Amino acid sequence: MNARKMLAGAFIVMLGMGMASFKEDDRNFQISKNLDIFNSIFKELDMFYVDTVNAEKMIQTGVEGMLSLTDPYTEYYPEEEVSSLKEMTTGKYGGIGAAIRYYEAKDRIAVVEPTEGMPAAEAGVKAGDIILSVGGKEMVRGNMKPQEFSSKVSEALRGEPGTSFVLKVLRPLKNDSTVMEFKLTRKNIRTNPVPYYGMVKDSIGYLALSSFTENSANDFKKAFIELKQKGAKSLIIDLRDNGGGSLSEAVDIVNLYVPKGQEIVVTKGKLRQAQGSYKTQNEPVDTQIPLAILVNGATASASEIVSGSLQDLDRAVIIGTRTFGKGLVQTIRPLPYNGTLKVTTSKYYIPSGRCIQAIDYAKKNADGSVARTPDSLTTVFHTAAGREVRDGGGIRPDIEVKGDKIPNIVFYLMNDDLIFDYATQYCWDHPTLASVDDFKLTDADYEAFKKLVKSRNFTYDRQSEKLLKSLKEVAEFEGYMTEASEEFKALEKKLNHNLDRDLDYFAKPIKEYLSQEIVTRYFYQRGAVMERLKDDTDLEKAIEVLQNPVRYREILSAPVKTDESAKKEEVKK
């Protein structure tokens, strides 16, 4: 009997192996078959199609279609775009240090923001300058799409450090415009991942981190140590709108506050090389200093590793709105002809064991869309102290602060360059600004802005009008229109487009965006951060918590079990 069982077991194992081998062979056959079909179709089109096909564009479209079935972070970079990938991961490039974009009013490219201390800013190039030529070559759009035009000008501005060229711009002035020329010498540009840090209240330090690029952990550490030297006894880390970056930089930042040897991230993927464990490698700087971390819906990836792991280790209080929910890790793979593939190879898991990935890109709806994981399908995990945290939906703050929604009108004011243009106009009348603290947009300034908006015959889509129109169409289709016509007329009258009313009603958020744009012209990114902090609910809540040690410890402690909850737990066991 034992021999029979052994033979039967061996047969089942061999059968299983055979089935696995068959499935693998079938998969390889399907891949080979479909690649042959794709190759043959292209060759037939190239030879017989009535018009000449654009080979590069056609195959690029095929590649894009293939990648669309994965996730948004798996991307192909041809040789000419590899530099942008390197810039994204390192934060460095050779150029003049200036953000640019398409400016519709002039059908040209405008300088949006020179980087502090870089060649453009040092030479006197200002936001609002319209680029006419680079190195003697006229920069005109022609038949290019705005995005293509922007890329062309960006490419012309970049180059080997040490090379020089003449930049010709049109500078808008109050009553006229003037052409100006600047001789610029390119240099290695590195975006500063720590745009601002300082003391915000008594002994509370504040540190904003905008990205996790190469060496950002060192920049962060230097700023943190300087704040401690200035007397910081607690710290607010601002990760709002930080889309992430390097996983190792994130681990190094967490390492500043937790002991050496602590596992922060585990990665799990299909291949063995995608599996990994990331532990803190160095002695920490301060394991006791109270921490509050500000997050929002645009806090993603490496930012969620920092905020999520410090939450899991009960090392920081998280404040703000739920984060984006990106728990995926990308790897750079070289391709033929100097191309590069950035491909998602694994998911990451933070100390509690949870993965905060909010969207399952493998499960798509019939229309190709994907949805966030509903809260009902998430799983409960526990922090080191026993607090409940969940997976599948980003990082949920310990203290949720209702985020302000951007009004529709603000989006259109920005899109039509009205906020941008008013900031340029403001700088004509105010050549200098003493400090960020002294700046305040007055009622007279806002009236001047409203005047500019009206002079441009500004209009924008109002969602209420769109929905009302749709409702009327449905009511008419279902036969309710006759009886409800008077009500519709009354509602239509109340929802009538009134620009004066809208500019007054939404004055507060409009002024906030205006103020940040203006201050950035004088004090760059650090000024924008400082201006934002003037009226910041998240910051106020963080200060409130850090000033109350009892409340701080209470938030990071495990909930006290009542007799009833203890009984429920015993029943579960």
Q: Residue 298 and residue 391: Cα distance in Å, rounded?
A: 18
* Residue carrying structure tokens 């607690």: 234
Q: Within 13 Å, how many C-alpha atoms sit on residue 520's CB side?
A: 25
Give the tokens for residue 88: 């994204």
pLDDT of residue 223: 98
Homologous superfamily of the 92-190 domain (CATH):
PDZ domain (2.30.42.10)
469 catalytic residue (yes or no): no
Type of residue at 567: K
* Residue extents of the structural domains in the chain: 92-190, 196-400, 408-546
Domain 196-400 grouped into CATH 3.90.226.10: yes
Bridge partner list, 568: none
Q: Which of 353, 327, 193 is nearest to 264 (CA)?
A: 353
pLDDT of residue 18: 61
pLDDT of residue 319: 98
pLDDT of residue 266: 97
Q: Residue 151 belongs to what H/E stretch?
A: helix 146-157
Pick left, alpha or beta for residue 493 (phi over 0 → left; psi -120 to 50 → alpha; otherwise beta). Answer: alpha
pLDDT of residue 88: 77
Pairing mode, strands 108-114 and 276-279: unpaired
Pick left, alpha or beta for residue 103 (phi over 0 → left; psi -120 to 50 → alpha; otherwise beta). Answer: beta
**Catalytic choice (211, 301, 307, 515):** 301
Q: Residue 214 and residue 216: Cα distance in Å, rounded?
A: 6
**Catalytic choice (126, 152, 326, 511):** 326
312 catalytic residue (yes or no): yes
**pLDDT in 10s for each residue of the chain, 573 residues:** 566 666 555 555 555 656 656 667 788 889 999 999 999 999 999 999 999 999 989 999 999 999 998 999 999 998 888 888 888 778 788 999 999 999 999 999 999 999 999 999 999 999 999 999 999 999 999 999 999 999 999 999 999 999 999 999 999 887 788 999 999 999 999 889 999 999 998 899 999 999 999 999 999 999 999 999 999 999 999 999 999 999 999 999 999 999 999 999 999 999 888 899 999 999 999 999 999 999 999 999 999 999 999 999 999 999 999 999 999 999 999 999 999 999 999 999 999 999 999 998 877 776 667 778 888 889 999 999 999 999 998 999 999 998 778 888 999 999 999 999 999 999 999 999 999 999 999 999 999 999 999 999 888 776 666 677 777 778 777 787 777 787 777 776 666 668 888 999 999 999 999 999 999 999 999 999 999 999 999 999 999 999 999 999 999 998 776 555 555 544 444
Q: Residue 172 and residue 170: Cα distance in Å, rounded?
A: 6
pLDDT of residue 522: 96
Stated pTM of the model = 0.86
Burial of 408 (C-beta count, 10 Å sphere; 0-12/13-18/19+)? middle
535 catalytic residue (yes or no): no
Bridge partner list, 184: 165
**Catalytic choice (129, 238, 312, 445):** 312
